[in-house]
Each structure stands twice: as structure tokens, then as C-alpha cells.
Structure 1
Amino acid sequence: MTSTEAPPNRLAELRERASLSQQEVADRLGPPVTVGQVSRWERGVVVPVPKTRRALAQVLGVSSVQELGIQPSPVASVPRQRSSAEDFMTDVEQDPRVVKSQDEWRRTRALLNSSRHSLSQVAADLYPDHRLGGTGLIAGPGWIPDAPVDLADISLVEVPGAPEPALDGTEREAARSLPDQTLTRSYDRYTRAVRDLAPPRLFEDRVSWRLTGVDWSPGAGSMGFADTTYFSAVDVFEPVAHELAYVALDADGQAAAHPHMRDLPYRKLIGSPFNFGRRPVMPAISTLTIRRDGDRAEFLMHRRDPRAVAAAGGMLQVIPSGIFQPSSILPAARAADFSLWRNIQREFSEELLGMPECDGHGRPVDYGSGPFAVLDQARADGRLSVHCLGVALDALTLVGEILTVLVVDADVFDRLAADFVERNDEGQIEGERFAFTEAGVRGLLDSGSVAPAGAGCLELAWRWRDVLLP
């Protein structure tokens, strides 16, 4: 049956006439407006305040607020329930004290994102015995093998009965990293503040795996994993970074102080960063992709877009790189995806070939076709090798990093590169490949522009170049 109920306002009609999506309207209005907020306005669930209505009129191309067709109060048949902080932010006028707290939080987060390299160096100084060169990474005892280990020689073990981590981001010591939500309460989780006050384009909770153990034997290794979610990890690792940025950076984003652990209550509460039981250590798999052509070797880099990603925005990163997580919640996908190699292949296809991202809700990936089959065949033929260089932590966030390197013969690489994209959802692929030489590697490492995981891959790959490129 077709509904004859009149729409609560003209927002959807005007937006469609202007050829804008809800996301584009939210982007043009700017933080703290989100796409969910725009949707609620259009459905009449909540009503924007007068200041926001004036901005909406400009964005939608009408000359007066009256043309928006917004009622002075919510539609009577729709209960006005405040189920999230978004309703407080743009549907009622905020107290100046709340505005000040949120503005300060946004400012610190912006400085954090623009100063991650210098902050990672400050953070690494807090763990001097565990630094991995000047990369901004730290590694626990035995986390770096004596030589690169072929992925085929690494066993992954699921630990379904692993205890939940002790910390989840709601601890009192994390309060410095959380802004006021209203006059009477602060945000209780960092992800909720990000969602409301500074949302990147890609910010969705996903089922993920967390590390529970790392062990290297000569020429082999094993890693243990239990379940977590992306937001569960962000709720801990971003407050740790935010806290350091708040203490260490001046108003211009320069490192003005080298704090002690006593100045960082949340980091101090975590204690040893190598204790997998204290917090969810969600690892990313970062892969240095090297094209080998006889005696010549080159590699790719990726510049991450700060508007799209929650971490390492604006920095250069090796490619592919992504969180270790299943492609779908379906059991068949989970079983197939519990593989470092499959995760690397999937990120390769998404970031370099522009294939749709597996968002966790679709069908299992068909690894027997397309670029997956090409990569598998090249590996079986000895024209592609993939090794793990070790496991480390980003000293700033304490995020886990599984460092890998993929070396592929020029003919296979060039066959795939014919379909490479220039941009992906996370940023820009650098158009010019970098020479895998001492000058090329050291020049990047000394530039301060490479994300810690990428720097770790370059540092270790160059250390073991004779093994990787015999």
C-alpha cells in the first residue's frame, strides 16, 4: 500500500533536486553534523536548531529557511527520544562550556593526526629498550624473528576461550581524552566522540581478531588470536595517543615536552604494552610490495587521506595494509579469511585494483578467481614470495603491526599493474615507484613522512634484502 502521509519537511526533496547525497550534505555542513543526523532531520525525528536551518538553506540552494518546510517542533506522531549524543549536538543550543570542551578535543585530535610521526618518536622514547630503530615502532622480547619467515611456515591458532582484556577505554584514567557530551556528563567512549565530533569517511565497527600470543622458532612461527571488534580496540588505542598529544604538543603542534609515564595516566595504567591481556591488541597487516626485475627492485607507497581514515592520515604507508579481520560474518568466510595471506590478497585487490571493499556483511570472497588466482599461481610457481618480518607495536597508539613483504616478478606485477587505480577509499597511490636501494629506503625513512608500520617494513626488508632478493 502506498502511504499518503505528507513528508515532515522538504529536506529530502530539496537535497535530491540539488543532486546531493545525505553524506554530501553532512560534509558541507561540517562537523559535528553526521549522515545519520541528516537522515533524522529528513524523517522528522528531530529538528535542527535555527542556526543549522540557515546553513541547510544555503547548502540546499533555497533563499529562505521557510522553503525547507520544517515545522517549529518535531512531528507529533514521532516520539522525540534522545538515543545518541548527535541529537544533543545540533538539535539544541549547546552551553558554551560544552562547546569549549568539544572544540578543545577536536583541536587536540587535529594536532594528533598532523603530528603522528613526531609523537611516535616521543612515545618510543618511553620504551627505550624496545625501539625498532627510528621507525616509531616498539617490539616485545622475541617478536622479531632472526630472519624473514615464509607465511607458509606460520601457523595461526584461534583461542576461543581467551579471557576478555582488562581495559576497554571506559576507565577513569582515560577521562582526559574524552570531551564533554553535555553539561552533566562526558563521553563514555572515544569512538562515540569521533563519530559525533570528527567522523572520517571510513569509520565502521567490524568484527576483528586480536593477538593473544607470538612465538618464533627457527624458520617458523605461530600466532594466537581471539575475537574483538574494531571499535573495542579504537576505544583504547586512540585515547592513549590523544593523551600523549594533549601533554606533549604545543598550540602549533610541535613537540614541546617529553613527558614521563607519570604524566600519562592511561598509558601508565596499561603497564607493559606487550601484555596481551591488558587491552585488545588488534593487529594490522602491513605489506611492502616490491617489484623485482632482474637486479632492479622498486616498491609502492600509499598516501593516506586524513579525511577518510581514523589513523595515520596524511602519512605515507606501504600498500596493501589493513586490519586483520574476516571479510564477512558468515562462518564460511571466517574460516577462509583466517589467513595472513588471504588478508593480504584481499587488501591488494581493494587498495590497488579498486575491487569493492568487503564490509563484513556480504558473501564469502571467491579466492579462486580474478587477482586472487593470479597471486596464488605466481606464489606456487615461485614468481612471488611473501614473508613475515616480525610483529611490533606503534609506540603512539600501541596498535599491533604484523610486518610483511611481498616480492613479485616484474611480469606478474606488470600484468596486475595494468589495472591499478590511482586513488582508493583510503587515499592516493603514489604514481612513481621508489627504488629499493639504500638511498631510496633511507631517504624515505629520514623524511619523517612514513607511518611507523611502513617504516618498520622498510627497515627490516632492507636489513634482510639478501634473503628476500637472492
Structure 2
Amino acid sequence: MTIAESPPNRLRHLREARSLSQQEVADRLGSPVTAHQVSRWERGQVVPQPRTRRALAQVLGVPVGELGFPASSTPVPRPRSSAEDFMADDEQDPRVQKSQEEWRATRQLLNANRHALSQTAAGLYPHAALGHTGLIAGPGWIPDAPVDLADIRLVEDVSAAAPMLTGGEREAGRVLPDLSLMQSYSRYTRAIRDLAPPRLFEDRFAWRLLGVDWARPRMLFGETTYFSCVDVFEPVAHELAYVALDADGHPAADPTLRDLPYRRLVGDPFAFARRPVMPAVSTLTIRRDGDRAEFLLHRRDPRAVAAAGGMLQVIPSGIFQPSSLLPAAREADFDLWRNIQREFSEELLGMAEADGHGQPVDYASGPFAVLDQAQAEDRLRVACLGVALDALTLVGEILTVMVVDSDVFDGLAYDFVDRNDEGQVMAERFPFTEAGVRGLLDSGRVAPAGAGCLELAWRWRDELLPA
């Protein structure tokens, strides 16, 4: 029987009727079941073993026979990837299981302790730490005052040499789980895909940060992809979590670079030639009403995103990448303001994500036109606060702030969503006061990029909110 001929089972309908995600089903079944396996069951690519079917029926509250699987537990023949050739559909060697379970456990601890681990990582570069935000900044990366976004010239160097590190190094392999008895995973993204996939996990083109110069001012970029960067920055973070935390997530050691072979191999974190640095553009959105100001935050869903899950983040925030791979889109989207506008429309207004596969965005219509007009009338001002790295992952962060007059903000806020693909838009608006800002920064709940935006925006509040 071919895949095309295989009858659909009822698993997906039963799961959705109980408002469960694939990850939630996997969590209830327990290790080593993953959301990826649940997806394969639903597509008819694999039939689970009888004992798993019994557990699955209990999770969904139905008799086993109502799952819709054929009586035989023989998997449906299909082409398999090289990775899957080493993976039993429902049974694994206990030693492989243990390796994968330990990897998942460390990753869970990593996501649950990102704030503390960012502080630990920043302590490895004390000369470069940006306060207590968990960010580090290279020499000259933070300007003397906010820089109007329109004054920054972006330069693309498509001939830039490929970075030296790829995530396939022996030192990175030390944090990768076993794929079989005789082989480990070759890349961190492949382990995430199979063992702990978030809802949003797709490889896409992105611009790679190569340099920043505030004297001009300008930023230099090359080309990269999302997975190329994840394969380097997540092993760096995973390694630190493994060394610095015990099995319960408590501090176990105060590591030095000698204890962290992959981070030591990365070397100078500000040497962009050594690894791909994929920057995100993170924007603190401030509503101004006379002498009163307040801002928005976003809680990132750990089930949906690969990084900073469970933490508060400024909104909008997103990787600097084009909306489409069509040449017209790449030319128009190589612009920090356009990136901010797209993320604003997606994260706050619920517009469909420009995922790189469609047509270029029409910036002359909808909320884009509203934002452009408000900026032209000086009722919206957007500035760059500097560039930094998340000390834990060494991911690049372009820190920006957008101050919006209350009438413009409120007109847009009528259409704000409560949730988006990456998490929840916090209903509470936070006061942009010393108590409000410091309280959040001291709470440990804000992701490093958001903390950096708040730290610098408060430092330059008089320039951003003149009387």
C-alpha cells in the first residue's frame, strides 16, 4: 500500500476535538514520544506499536479501536530520510533513548533558565556587559545618543566570505544527542526537528550582520540562513546550560571559558568572520500621551518558538530578513523600518506572516501606509539605540524604539490581537517610568533584547520624549 492510498486515521480529529496540540499529546505520552512522531502517526506514515496505541487512547479518552489505525503494527512503506533510517518508530535502544532524554532535559532547563544563564554568560565578558540585561556590546556598538533610523545607511556585501564555524565542529558535537548506537546527530537543528520541534521552525534566508559604524552611521550585512545560525548559537547556549546547571536546574558551577570548549572555539564574540550572526530587530513601542508614556510587552510561547520561550519581550521583534525571495522584495525589504512595520502588522494586527515564499509586501496600503504617514507627520518617531549580542547565544540584536502619539497608537490598537503565532500580547500596558522600567528589569522576566531596549531607552528618555 502506498502513502497516497493509505486511509486516514482519526487521530488528528480526536486530538483537535480535545483542543490538544501535537506537542501536548507527546508530553502526555511521555518520553521518548515527540510531536514529530505524533505528526507522522496522523499522516499515516507510521503506525504506533500496540502499547503506545493503548496509551494514546487513554490520552484522547476513546477506545483503541476508535483511533482508526489498522490492526497490523507494520509501518506503511515510504521513503525515509537518512536520519530516520537510524530511528525506530516506537522502539529505541535504551542507550540512545537515554542520550536523547538527557538532551531534551538540558534543553528544557536551558529554556526555563535563560535569564539566569544570560547573566552567567555575560559574566564571561565583564568588560562588554550592558548593565544587567544579559547583553554584551562590542567597542563602539552603542552610540552616544539614539540615531534616527532614516539616517542609518545599510550596505550589503554579497561576496562576503563564509563564516569559519558551521555547527558541525567536534566541539559542537559534544552537546548533540545520539541518533543511533554508532552515530550522533550532525547538527543541532536536526535534533530540534526530531526531538523538540517548536511550532515555528523553518529555514529561511536572513541577512548576516558583518559590522556597525556609528561615525557614518552605517551597518554592513552579508547573507545567511536561519538554520545556519541556529546550528551555532544554540550549541553555545546548550553547552553553558549543561555545565552551569544541575539536573534540577539549580546553579551547579561558575564556569569559565576553559569549561566551555565550543564557546572557547568561537573566541572573540565580536569577530563576525568566525560565525554567522543573524540579527533580530527588537523594538520597544511607546505610546505617548502628553507627559504620560507607556509601552507594550509580548510573552513568547515556549511551545511555539525556539528561543526565549516563556520570557517577556518588546514588541514587535523579528529576524532581519526579506518578506519574499523575489528580487523586488529583497531590494525593498533591506530596510530596518520595513522590517519593523512587517513585524508590527504580524504580531500586533494579526496579518499573515510574510514567510519568504509569497509575493512582495505592498507597503503603500493598510497599516504600512498609516505608519508611514504618521512618521512623515512626526507623530511617530523611530530610532536605533545600538547593537548588542545576547550573551547566552551570541545572537545579534538591533535595539530600536518607536514613540507613537496616542491618537495614532489608539487608532491602530482597535485591531490589536490578544495572541499571535509566537505567544500572547500582554493586555497590560506598562508605565514608562523609573519604577515601571526598573521593576521589570529586576524581575528577570524580560528577554535580553527587551531588557536592552528598556535600559537604553530609559537612559535617553529626555531625547526620546522631549518636553
User: Residue by residue, what CA displacement relative to the aligned partner does 1:110-163 show, whole Å, maximum 9, x if unpaired?
Assistant: 010010001001000100110111111000111111111001100111101000
Relative to 1, partners in 2 of residues 1:17 and 1:294: Cα closer, same or farther, differing over 3 Å? closer
Amino acid at match of 1:108: T
For the 8 Å contact 2:8–2:43, the answer to whether it is kept is no
Q: Which runs of structure 2 are paired with 1:194-205 in the superposition (5 Å)?
A: 194-205=192-203
CA distance in 2, matches of 1:43, 1:416: 40
Deviation at 1:67? 5.1
For the 8 Å contact 2:156–2:222, the answer to whether it is kept is yes
2:253 alignment partner, SS class: coil
Relative to 1, partners in 2 of residues 1:111 and 1:181: Cα closer, same or farther, differing over 3 Å? same
2:47 is equivalent to residue 50 of structure 1: no
Higher alpha-carbon deviation: 80-89 or 262-271: 80-89
Q: Quote the residue 1:273 is aligned against.
A: 269
1:406 alignment partner, SS class: strand
Amino acid at match of 1:279: R
Counterpart pick for 2:25 among 23, 28, 36: 28
Deviation at 1:71? 3.2
Amino acid at match of 1:28: V
Amino acid at match of 1:71: S
Counterpart pick for 1:183 among 178, 181, 184: 181
Amino acid at match of 1:195: R
For the 8 Å contact 1:46–1:87, the answer to whether it is kept is no
Deviation at 1:251? 2.1
Deviation at 1:7? 4.1
1:54 alignment partner, SS class: helix
Deviation at 1:426? 1.0
CA distance in 1, matches of 2:442, 2:73: 58
Q: Which runs of structure 2 are paired with 1:303-452 in the superposition (5 Å)?
A: 303-452=299-448
CA distance in 2, matches of 1:90, 1:418: 51
Q: Quote the residue 1:192 is aligned against.
A: 190
Q: Quote the residue 1:128 is aligned against.
A: 126
Q: Quote the residue 1:283 is aligned against.
A: 279
Q: Quote the residue 2:232 is aligned against.
A: 236
Deviation at 1:43? 5.8
Q: Quote the residue 2:99 is aligned against.
A: 101
Relative to 1, partners in 2 of residues 1:40 and 1:315: Cα closer, same or farther, differing over 3 Å? closer
User: Residue by residue, what CA displacement relative to the aligned partner does 1:246-303 show, whole Å, maximum 9, x if unpaired?
Assistant: 0001222122321010000000000000001110000000000001111111111111
Q: Unaligned stretches of 5+ in structure 2?
A: none
For the 8 Å contact 1:160–1:226, the answer to whether it is kept is yes
Q: Quote the residue 1:170 is aligned against.
A: 168
For the 8 Å contact 2:375–2:381, the answer to whether it is kept is yes
CA distance in 2, matches of 1:46, 1:107: 26
User: Residue by residue, what CA displacement relative to the aligned partner does 1:68-113 show, whole Å, maximum 9, x if unpaired?
Assistant: 21534345xx4x5431535654515111111111111111100100
Counterpart pick for 2:137 among 125, 136, 139: 139
Identity of aligned residues (%): 74
CA distance in 2, matches of 1:433, 1:118: 25
Deviation at 1:431? 1.1
Relative to 1, partners in 2 of residues 1:21 and 1:278: Cα closer, same or farther, differing over 3 Å? farther
Relative to 1, partners in 2 of residues 1:43 and 1:311: Cα closer, same or farther, differing over 3 Å? closer
1:141 alignment partner, SS class: coil
**TM-score normalised per structure 1:** 0.92
Deviation at 1:307? 1.1
CA distance in 2, matches of 1:51, 1:275: 52
Q: Unaligned stretches of 5+ in structure 1?
A: none
2:120 is equivalent to residue 161 of structure 1: no
CA distance in 1, matches of 2:314, 2:40: 39
Q: Quote the residue 1:68 is aligned against.
A: 69
Relative to 1, partners in 2 of residues 1:28 and 1:400: Cα closer, same or farther, differing over 3 Å? same
For the 8 Å contact 2:158–2:223, the answer to whether it is kept is yes
CA distance in 1, matches of 2:101, 2:157: 42
Deviation at 1:436? 0.8
Amino acid at match of 2:389: L
Amino acid at match of 1:114: A
How many residues align? The count is: 462
Amino acid at match of 1:453: A
2:214 alignment partner, SS class: strand
Relative to 1, partners in 2 of residues 1:39 and 1:299: Cα closer, same or farther, differing over 3 Å? closer
Amino acid at match of 1:109: R
CA distance in 2, matches of 1:153, 1:222: 8
Q: Quote the residue 1:463 is aligned against.
A: 459
**TM-score normalised per structure 2:** 0.93
CA distance in 1, matches of 2:92, 2:212: 48
1:48 alignment partner, SS class: coil
Higher alpha-carbon deviation: 13-22 or 65-74: 13-22
User: Residue by residue, what CA displacement relative to the aligned partner does 1:318-369 show, whole Å, maximum 9, x if unpaired?
Assistant: 1100110111111111111110000000000111111111111111111111
CA distance in 2, matches of 1:106, 1:115: 14
CA distance in 1, matches of 2:127, 2:200: 35
Relative to 1, partners in 2 of residues 1:246 and 1:18: Cα closer, same or farther, differing over 3 Å? closer
User: Residue by residue, what CA displacement relative to the aligned partner does 1:215-250 show, whole Å, maximum 9, x if unpaired?
Assistant: 111xx5111111111011000000000000000012
